Amino acid sequence: MSEETRQIEGDEVLIEALGRGATQIEAAALAGVCTRTVSRRLDDPTFARRVAAYRDSILETGAARLGDLIARATSTLAELLSDDHPPQIRLGASRAVLDAALKLRETALLEKRIANLEGKASQ
């Protein structure tokens, strides 16, 4: 195996490990390199962008999976609010719905304020 092939394979291991949140020490151990090599690779802007892109793809996948679960969670909360359940269960479900609604409203307001500030800053 050539030196270049070993570096490419080592880079892939490092990118995956670092993208998944491993420390430099953990990533070095997984790739079979020293921590100085990891640090030197991270100083390379192209390599650092590849790590960031890998991390972003993981986050996007996770966000999509969470999006799929939101409908199920909402249905579960709606079912728990029915009179078929004891008051304590309905109260807990009500709190969860209200908490989520308040957080959603707060996020929407913050997004609007940020958009307004960005609009003013770009003028």
- pLDDT, tens digit, 9 for 90 and up, residues 49-90: 999 999 999 999 998 898 889 889 999 999 999 999 999 999
CB-based contacts of 96, cutoff 8 Å, min separation 6: 77
Host domain of residue 2: 1-68
* pLDDT mean over 88-100: 95
Query: Per the domain annotation, does 100 fall within a domain?
Result: yes
Shared-domain flag, residues 10 and 57: yes
Query: Per the domain annotation, does 74 fall within a domain?
Result: no
Shared-domain flag, residues 35 and 4: yes
Shared-domain flag, residues 57 and 89: no
Shared-domain flag, residues 93 and 55: no
Residue 8 above 80 pLDDT? no
Shared-domain flag, residues 2 and 35: yes
The number of folded domains in the chain is 2
Distance CA(30)–CA(23), nearest Å, equals 11
Distance CA(14)–CA(42), nearest Å, equals 10
Is the whole model's pTM more than 0.95, yes or no?
Answer: no
